[in-house]
Amino acid sequence: NQRPMRLIWIYRNLFEVDAGGFGQLAASLSHAVSLTVLRLQACGLRPDNLEALVQVLPSLTVLTALDVSSNKEAGGAVHQLVSVLPLTQMRRLPMSSCRLTEDPGVGTASQMLAALTLRPDSLDVSFPPALVAPYLRSLDVSWCKVVGGRLPLLMDALQPSVVLELRLSSCGLTTDDLAADVCRRGCVSSLRVLDLSYNDSVGDAGWAALFAAGGLGSLEEADLSLRPLTSAPCSAWLPSLLGALPRMPALARLAMQRWSAGPQEEQQLRFSMKNRNIRFLSRLWRDAGRHPGSHGCCR
């Protein structure tokens, strides 16, 4: 007897996709009833490929992880994938770099988020949220620019005590995303990995709220880095971070690339990192006032 197939992992197999091989794969998936993990990373999937996948996903009744990340032409059909997934049992859902947009001519990020939260496509905040992904442990929607301003709606679909990994790099997050709801409701209480890098649009109040709210006791890795070739001072919210460190006993890695600080602040933070044996990724901070050519960047 053949052993049941539980994992399919295809990475950068562009030839088969271009040659129509994906259609054959999609057809065969309907017989893989024991499949729990399906990874199709950077395969050059087109909307028609994903439409074929949408047809067979309902057959995969025990699926717990679907990875379509780095398929840059797939954004128009991702919301259809989400709508047919068995969300109540999903544990991992990486969708980074799928170019989700708000183009009305294609499937939008709003539709994808609406599918995750069981709300109308308009994401009307008066529509009651639903906990539709209670077992989702890892969610990656990095580079989905329009998550910004909608993060609380997305978090409504997740179980705070279950989510271990949340990657929101370059999502256009706003100050309110961090300050208004997410932190206060304890949505990050179980997180071990939190990636908020390249969200330069978050203001000081948002970063301060993230750490002042507490509830990060399980966090092991955090990335707050700014985009390359940019910089900003962190003096306004650094006290909140320093005050939160004693309540973050599990923290082992903190990335703060390209934030700038004064010499005393830098020394205090580096001492805290060294004292806790935390891997601190910031390169060398140079205060803009002392090094006019540095623009406050981490070097």
Which uninterrupted H or E stretch holds 98?
Answer: none
Give CA–CA dist 260/234, Å, rounded.
6
pLDDT computed for residue 185 by the predictor: 54
Give CA–CA dist 76/285, Å, rounded.
41
pTM over 0.75: yes
Number of neighbouring beta carbons within 10 Å of residue 103: 12
Of the chain, the end-to-end C-alpha distance in Å amounts to: 59
Fill in the amino acid letter for 240: S
Query: Helix axis angle, 21-29 relative to 47-56, nearest 10°?
Result: 20
Q: Which residues pair with residue 245 across a beta bridge? A: none
Is residue 36 within 8 Å of 66, Cβ to Cβ? no
Residues 6+ away with beta carbon under 8 Å from 235: 261, 262, 265
Which uninterrupted H or E stretch holds 253?
Answer: strand 253-255
Give CA–CA dist 260/232, Å, rounded.
6
Q: Name the percent of the chain in helix, strand, coil, to the closest 5.
A: 35, 15, 50
Number of neighbouring beta carbons within 10 Å of residue 66: 22
Query: What domains are defined for the chain?
Result: 173-299 (3.80.10.10)
Give, for all 299 residues of the chain, the pLDDT tens digit: 445 567 776 766 654 555 567 777 888 888 888 899 998 888 888 778 888 888 989 999 899 998 888 887 766 677 778 888 888 888 988 888 776 655 544 444 555 555 555 444 444 444 444 556 778 888 888 888 778 888 887 777 777 788 899 999 999 999 999 886 555 556 678 899 999 999 999 999 999 999 988 888 999 999 999 999 899 999 999 999 999 999 999 999 999 999 998 888 888 998 989 888 999 988 645 544 443 333 333 33
Tokens representing 117?
């939260």
Is residue 81 within 8 Å of 66, Cβ to Cβ? yes
Task: Note the maximum CA span of the chain.
Answer: 72
